[in-house]
Structure 1
Amino acid sequence: MVGALVVAFFLFTSLYTDYLWFSQLGYTSVLTTQWAAIAVMFVIGFVGMALPVWLTINLAYRLRPVYAKLNSQLDRYQELVEPLRRLAMWAIPAVLGLFAGLSASSRWEATLLWLNRTVTGSTDPQFGLDLSFYLFELPFYRGVVSFASAVILIALLLTVAVSYLYGSIRVNGRELRISKSSRIQIAVLAGLYLLLQAVSIWLDQYTTLTQTGDLITGASYTDVNATIWARQILAGIALLIALLFFVTAFIGRWRFPLVGTALLLVASVVLGSLYPWVVQRFTVDPNARVLEAPYIQRNIDLTRDAFDVAEVEEVPYSATTEASPGALRSDAETTASIRIIDPALVSPAVAQLERFKTYYGFNSELDVDRYDIDGESQDTVIAVRELRQSGLGDGSSWYNNTVVYTHGYGVVAAYGNQRSADGQPVFFESGIPTSGELGEYQPRIYFGEQSPAYSIVGAPEGADPRELDYPSGEDGESETYNTFSGDAGPKLDTVFNRLVYALKFQSEQIFLSDAVNSESQILYDRNPVDRIQKVAPYLTLDSDPYPSVVDGKVVWIVDGYTTSDAYPYSRTVSLSNSIADSDSEAQRYAIDDINYIRNSVKATVDAYDGTVTLYAWDDEDPVLQTWQKIFPSTLKPISEMSGDLMSHVRYPTDLFKVQRSILGQYHVTDAGRFYSRTDAWQTPADPQEDASTNSLQPPYYLTLQMPGQETPSFSLYSTFIPRGASSEDASNVLKGYLAVDADAGGEDGVKGEGYGALRLLTMPDESTVPGPGQMQNDFNSDQAVSSLINILRQGQTDVLNGNLLTLPVGGGLLYVQPVYVQSTGETSYPVLQKVLVGFGDEIAFEDTLDQALDSLFGGDSGASAGDGDVPVEGGEGEGEETPTEPTEPADPGDGSETPPTGADGELAAALAEAQAAMEAKQAALEDGDFAAFGEADARLSAAVERALELLGG
């Protein structure tokens, strides 16, 4: 009894703290709706199983023949069972009912979707049913039939067991005798079971529209002309046999239903398997291209609808590979916005420059956003300075971890297209306290991706603040403290609340500590994704939440998706595999195999007080409309979204990844070409990753102007190469370039007019534009580039290639890659020193993007990339940048190159000396002359140091 009370109290604690959390956040209705649905479904499942089982057991026992003569073996069984009979008659139904209740309660979502289903207005091409039947009704009906079948089958088996134990069923040699009462009970249950199987087989014909075959997802020629009508016939046979069982209950003749059951089994093999195989083998396979064409077309059309790519604008693009002077003149705005700061590589630099204390930290990969600075939109690399208690070291204790170190502080933002003279990011928002171009905003970060499991904040008015704000202060103070003044977590204002949270977090200090007072709040579940998932359990959330400074506060913006695996004729894909690339690991999702997705919700989480706001972004999505009926008043219309927030909303990464995986094959809209699969594409492997990992290149956010656009816009893009091509193949040429307008605009409650517009550039079959892998190989194998990089690697430095960007400019495809240099010291970080650019077969490797473009396009590119070195006050790069004259291209006719002069000449001399020293080292090593080896090594070190000085490293 004591143990049961303890378990009950812990269960109550969990439920009570959940209620407090949802209540504080303003989403109590979400929790109570789930509780009510789970409770009702549990009761239905429990009663639905326990009552029929109890009735069948009691009927079988009460209607037993009282004076039946049993054999000695059954007598012994009865003697063993009799002492436990009464308990068993209640316990067996109760235990089975418990399991059934738990099973049924897990299907509360399917039940609520069926009860609140929304008509889509579109019908499937085979049965002409509204698509809502497949999305909301069919899963529910199949679940009900499956549950009822399990109940009847268990009841039937228990009836047979009890009837045999108590003599209603007797076996004498080859003779089987069944009492009338038992016959009626068994026959009725068998008839009900066959009736349910008839319904199940009938529903199975609709599942052919979502089954994935060797060629397509959906009903193929064989399914339509053999499988579907075969299932209809089998359903009719099962119904007829069910009726025969009902007749047997009254007339007592078992022959007809038993023979019918045998015939059903034979028919299921012949009609369900053999006949479709014959049709496929002898009718379809010889003429598959023609016979399957209508069904392939269904698959193409509905797949493109389900993944929202039906309106993609396909643009033939005959990309040139010749870099001609002035070719970039019309693309000056695009080239000026090219992001040369790699958010994946720059994080260590930001950490070294902006962390200040070991208990602050930044994500390993920063986020890309855009901000209006001095009236111009700037692609931005941004990060939140979060608290990381692992850096406290000896200062770690319950009091410090829970009461003092409670939050991070401020954001750091850098221009995406600029660097300082010494290769560092150029920040326009930085420091503690924060300062810069973003104006006044609430800088304290209580809710983030790295926040502690829980913190206790708040204090009575007038009490000394004890939450560390930042490690500097006024009037000689070394630290500044703060008291949280928002409403962010459940109150610990009663002894009972302290007790339940002490139990929840297994910490007696919550109950005993004097730091907990009547104004204290406990903050937990602080990760933005976790908070949104709890208040919107029906959403699949994007794996890349990002911070933005919006309306005077820092908010996390997270994209939410509604998904389904029941959209007819749509290709099924693995969501986790589709989004996995070199930047993202495969995630685990409740529904991973999907064939329908919509970005239906934009959600925000206030980084200061944890407020969760959900906006209905796609109010035409029938799945979202249905969930809005289930959880009314939890979503706001986009008309309530401020213009400032709208200007930072972007097209989501995960949705784009899923769409590009679909368009790799479904860019082909002709059934014949689709069948031949001669034009299938794939996303290229990330050229920065080890080839053995086969990690895909992630999509990148850039401001660019696609053909057909009047002005550049903030976009998300990815590329395609032929399916099966590897980075080493000559066939690794660019076949497609997919970009989407990712800028939602900046007006209150109004989406940008072009937002979400997908554009696909398709290269001609004879295209020779190199793919990313081939271009990376060209960069690596270029003699001038590789000699410099290899020599740099001989010193105390590493050379790191940044993200390889691809832009449709100059009538072709331009590749841009920043190159970072990093010392091998423990406290070093990458600095941007060079920029690689490639256009067709031509390559340039210069200090800045401006210089590289001028070099590549003959000194008359007509574009200003805007990435010149920016002076850093008080640093090594302070002072004005020395203009660099464009280098005249070598005369292609004489095979000679113009000797470098000035700084370039000094660098060339240093590299030549380094090369000579390396050769001398190797020769000395082979001769065993260690004195000469040491001398050559010293020469090499000096030459490398000289080269680094000339590079500014």
Structure 2
Amino acid sequence: MNENPTVGKQRSSFAHEEGSVIGMPPTSRHLLALTVVAVASLIAVLVGVAGYIEKWLWMRQLGYAGIFWTLLSVQVVMFCSAFVFAFLYLWINLRQATKNSGDFLGGVRASRPALSSVNVSAHPSIDLSPRLLKAAVFLISAVVAVFSALYFYTEWDTYLRFRYGGSFGVSDPLLGVDVGFYLFHLPFYVLLQGSLTILTILTFGIVFSTYILLGIRLALTSGVGRIAASSSATSHFSVLLFILAANFGWGFYLDHYELVYSTLGVVYGAGYAADHVTRVTLWIMVGVSALACALLAFNFFRPRLKTLAVGVGVYFALWLIGVYLVPFFFQEFFVQPSELALETPYLKHYIEFTRKAYQLDAIQETTYPALPNLTPEVIARNQDTIQNIRLWDSRPLLQTYQQTQAIRLYYQFYNIDTDRYHLADGYHQVMLSTRELSPELPAKAQTWVNEYLQFTHGYGAVMNFVSKTVGGGFPRYLLENVPAESEFGLSITQPSIYYGQSMSGYRIVATDIKEFDYPKGNDNVYTSYSGKGGIPLNSFWKRLLFAWSKADVNILLTSYLKPESRIQIHRDVSERVAQIAPFLRLDHDPYAVL
């Protein structure tokens, strides 16, 4: 109790004045927060939109605009569909939870005087205004829906494989299903089942937390703790668990197809234990899931929270024992002691389908007699083979290239490739590498004009025989020096390398700045790009777009650009192919072709 009301008033008045002078009025704070959110959202939108416009311009210039629109439309549809479904799923459940909590609280408060034997614990209810509660429900639903939609957005390839995938005409030996089902359809079904499972579990957790905060209370009766929940809340739990059990049942059904990827046995794929035990337990769990759905439907009309909790525990115990423990112990104590006898049929399947996958089953095997000795006549008859036995190792050869053929500090050889070429004297195996620009120019040359307008490309390639040397232990070159020289009839009509194996960032070509082409003694030779690669910078808006997307205002301010100037992006060949055909899996090592 305040003994001095005057002091209290003075303190209140001082606090009010202090807040007005030092702080900020609530309206201003709200306006500032909204401004910050709006600016951040605008920047995020601009970054995303600029990226899409840049990609569209690039793919249109290459003649692949159709692929851009196809992929974008699929991604947008998947994002929107997932967002709408996840949002409504959460929003409906949270709205029902808040409604049930309110009804339960009202009932507890009305009946509290009559519950003298029940000591409701001091777990205060959270009183929220209806407007704030609706906003919280909307915000939580929207945030979770955005993350769900983003996940689906990245899985566009899974849908397209499902939509357009076909069959192989080859059935697996375990279930007799066409292999195309496993590659094209099963991944999409797994995506749907797994996403719905995660969403339902997340929804259940949020709904349960909502009931804890707003409705469910821990009660003490004669010193024993129990959870008190309304029948409507228990029915709500039953509905969510019904969806979860049905979805788990679908998952167990899909799991028996995924046994072809099992790692339980000695090989990658279904073994004896997976075929004879795991398959059976998965079908049992499908039946258990169906029974659980029936019991949950009954519990919806006759809600019992304790029964619900016990049922969930029993279900997961059966899952753990049947799907994981029983197959594991069966493998350890029954299969492994007789592994060869039991696993042999599955080993044969493994070998057979591995050969089919790599088309090794089409190879014809021929037996050649072993010669007791190797004579000069035999070697003379097989010169094509002898002269193509590779002697050079790519690692020291790369150092040799860099030391003898880089010519200048701003050139770099990144790796050595092996290929075969028809020359005047026959078919030869060769090793080669392209002379690309170094990732960084020498320190004194690192100006914006040099890095982005003048030093735009590498030059030429180097090639040597795999088994021939010259004096000093150097390789015998088929192609060397700058400009390229060859004693074997090889020629390069376009030696400039604008796109290579390790070319990051962007370059602008066909400008008022002459591009460095190659060194010639103490002088340099310059050129100007005349090809069609790159996006034309023929408008102010394109220059503004790339100045924004590349975070480089010099693109907008420089006076060296012309209407025919072009900006080259995605200059790494692997990156280019991945942008155009993201559904392909590429070899990790691209190689140059003359």
Q: Which bin holds the TM-score, normalised by the shorter protein?
A: 0.7 to 0.9
Match of 1:447 among 467, 478, 499: 499
Instruction: Note if 1:15 corresponds to 2:52.
Output: yes
Bigger mean CA deviation after superposition, 436-445 or 519-528? 436-445
Question: How far is 1:336 from its partner?
Answer: 3.7
The separation in 2 between residues aligned to 1:78 and 1:163, in whole angstroms, is 11
Name the amino acid aligned to 1:510.
I
Match of 2:509 among 457, 467, 470: 457
The separation in 2 between residues aligned to 1:409 and 1:177, in whole angstroms, is 79
Instruction: State the SS of the aligned residue for 1:310.
Output: helix
Question: How far is 1:266 from its partner?
Answer: 4.3
Instruction: Note if 1:54 corresponds to 2:91.
Output: yes
Question: How far is 1:424 from its partner?
Answer: 3.6
Name the amino acid aligned to 1:268.
W
The separation in 2 between residues aligned to 1:159 and 1:513, in whole angstroms, is 58
Deviations, residues 134-192 of structure 1 (Å, cap 9, x unaligned): 21222221221122122223333444444455547784636665444334332222212
Question: How far is 1:484 from its partner?
Answer: 0.7
* Structure 2 portions without partners, runs of 5+: 1-37, 113-119
* Structure 1 portions without partners, runs of 5+: 550-953
- The residue number in structure 1 matching 2:530 is 485
Residues 121 and 217 of structure 2 are in contact (CA less than 8 Å); yes or no, is this contact kept in structure 1? no
Instruction: Note if 1:233 corresponds to 2:280.
Output: no
Question: How far is 1:489 from its partner?
Answer: 0.8
- The residue number in structure 2 matching 1:126 is 174
Instruction: Note if 1:207 corresponds to 2:261.
Output: no
Residues 125 and 214 of structure 2 are in contact (CA less than 8 Å); yes or no, is this contact kept in structure 1? no
* 1:868-907 correspondence to structure 2 within 5 Å: none
Question: How far is 1:323 from its partner?
Answer: 4.8
Residues 171 and 177 of structure 2 are in contact (CA less than 8 Å); yes or no, is this contact kept in structure 1? yes
The separation in 2 between residues aligned to 1:119 and 1:379, in whole angstroms, is 39
Deviations, residues 319-372 of structure 1 (Å, cap 9, x unaligned): 567555544243233224444455443344444444333323333x43232333
Instruction: Note if 1:69 corresponds to 2:116.
Output: no
Deviations, residues 899-930 of structure 1 (Å, cap 9, x unaligned): xxxxxxxxxxxxxxxxxxxxxxxxxxxxxxxx
Instruction: State the SS of the aligned residue for 1:381.
Output: strand
Name the amino acid aligned to 2:444.
D
Provide the identity percentage.
26
The separation in 2 between residues aligned to 1:305 and 1:201, in whole angstroms, is 29
* 1:809-828 correspondence to structure 2 within 5 Å: none
Residues 169 and 179 of structure 1 are in contact (CA less than 8 Å); yes or no, is this contact kept in structure 2? no
Instruction: Name the CA shift for 1:248/1:443 in 2 (closer, same or farther; >3 Å).
Output: same
* 1:692-841 correspondence to structure 2 within 5 Å: none
Instruction: State the SS of the aligned residue for 1:447.
Output: coil
The separation in 2 between residues aligned to 1:280 and 1:269, in whole angstroms, is 16
Residues 504 and 572 of structure 2 are in contact (CA less than 8 Å); yes or no, is this contact kept in structure 1? no
- The residue number in structure 2 matching 1:101 is 149
Instruction: State the SS of the aligned residue for 2:456.
Output: coil
Question: How far is 1:44 from its partner?
Answer: 2.2
Match of 1:271 among 312, 322, 325: 322
Instruction: Note if 1:33 corresponds to 2:33.
Output: no
- The residue number in structure 2 matching 1:509 is 554
Residues 407 and 446 of structure 1 are in contact (CA less than 8 Å); yes or no, is this contact kept in structure 2? yes
Deviations, residues 275-310 of structure 1 (Å, cap 9, x unaligned): 435544554344322222212222222233234433
Instruction: Note if 1:399 corresponds to 2:449.
Output: yes
* 1:587-598 correspondence to structure 2 within 5 Å: none
Give the number of the structure with larger relative contact order, counting CA–CA contacts within 8 Å between residues 6 or more apart. 1
- The residue number in structure 1 matching 2:590 is 545
Residues 170 and 178 of structure 1 are in contact (CA less than 8 Å); yes or no, is this contact kept in structure 2? no
Instruction: State the SS of the aligned residue for 2:463.
Output: strand
- The residue number in structure 1 matching 2:339 is 288
Instruction: Name the CA shift for 1:59/1:445 in 2 (closer, same or farther; >3 Å).
Output: same
The separation in 1 between residues aligned to 2:388 and 2:71, in whole angstroms, is 48
- The residue number in structure 2 matching 1:6 is 43
The separation in 2 between residues aligned to 1:98 and 1:38, in whole angstroms, is 14
Instruction: Name the CA shift for 1:340/1:227 in 2 (closer, same or farther; >3 Å).
Output: closer
- The residue number in structure 1 matching 2:543 is 498
- The residue number in structure 1 matching 2:4 is none
Instruction: Name the CA shift for 1:541/1:275 in 2 (closer, same or farther; >3 Å).
Output: closer
The separation in 1 between residues aligned to 2:359 and 2:503, in whole angstroms, is 36
Instruction: Note if 1:140 corresponds to 2:188.
Output: yes
Instruction: Note if 1:434 corresponds to 2:434.
Output: no
The separation in 1 between residues aligned to 2:388 and 2:514, in whole angstroms, is 44
Match of 1:414 among 461, 464, 482: 464
In terms of fraction of residues, the more helix-rich structure is 2
The separation in 1 between residues aligned to 2:437 and 2:174, in whole angstroms, is 57
Residues 211 and 218 of structure 1 are in contact (CA less than 8 Å); yes or no, is this contact kept in structure 2? yes
Residues 448 and 526 of structure 1 are in contact (CA less than 8 Å); yes or no, is this contact kept in structure 2? yes
The separation in 1 between residues aligned to 2:107 and 2:502, in whole angstroms, is 74
Instruction: Name the CA shift for 1:168/1:338 in 2 (closer, same or farther; >3 Å).
Output: closer
Instruction: State the SS of the aligned residue for 1:544.
Output: coil
The separation in 2 between residues aligned to 1:354 and 1:282, in whole angstroms, is 64
- The residue number in structure 2 matching 1:196 is 247
Residues 469 and 476 of structure 2 are in contact (CA less than 8 Å); yes or no, is this contact kept in structure 1? yes
* 1:341-740 correspondence to structure 2 within 5 Å: 341-363=392-414, 365-374=415-424, 376-388=426-438, 390-436=440-486, 437-439=489-491, 441-451=493-503, 453-459=505-511, 466-472=514-520, 478-549=523-594
Name the amino acid aligned to 2:55.
D
Question: How far is 1:383 from its partner?
Answer: 2.7
- The residue number in structure 1 matching 2:384 is 333
The separation in 1 between residues aligned to 2:329 and 2:476, in whole angstroms, is 69
Bigger mean CA deviation after superposition, 211-220 or 229-238? 211-220
Instruction: State the SS of the aligned residue for 2:260.
Output: coil
TM-score, scaled relative to structure 2: 0.82
Question: How far is 1:54 from its partner?
Answer: 0.9
Name the amino acid aligned to 2:498.
Y
Instruction: Name the CA shift for 1:317/1:163 in 2 (closer, same or farther; >3 Å).
Output: same
Residues 388 and 452 of structure 1 are in contact (CA less than 8 Å); yes or no, is this contact kept in structure 2? no
Name the amino acid aligned to 2:261.
T
Deviations, residues 776-808 of structure 1 (Å, cap 9, x unaligned): xxxxxxxxxxxxxxxxxxxxxxxxxxxxxxxxx
The separation in 2 between residues aligned to 1:489 and 1:156, in whole angstroms, is 52
The separation in 1 between residues aligned to 2:45 and 2:179, in whole angstroms, is 44
The separation in 2 between residues aligned to 1:396 and 1:512, in whole angstroms, is 19
Instruction: Name the CA shift for 1:280/1:338 in 2 (closer, same or farther; >3 Å).
Output: closer
- The residue number in structure 2 matching 1:658 is none
Deviations, residues 459-518 of structure 1 (Å, cap 9, x unaligned): 4xxx7x711222239xxx933221111111112122222122222333222111111221
Question: How far is 1:6 from its partner?
Answer: 2.9
Question: How far is 1:89 from its partner?
Answer: 1.7
Instruction: State the SS of the aligned residue for 1:54.
Output: helix
Residues 389 and 401 of structure 1 are in contact (CA less than 8 Å); yes or no, is this contact kept in structure 2? no
Question: How far is 1:270 from its partner?
Answer: 4.4
Cα RMSD of the aligned pairs, angstroms, is 3.1
Instruction: Name the CA shift for 1:314/1:213 in 2 (closer, same or farther; >3 Å).
Output: farther
Residues 245 and 289 of structure 2 are in contact (CA less than 8 Å); yes or no, is this contact kept in structure 1? yes
Instruction: Note if 1:306 corresponds to 2:345.
Output: no
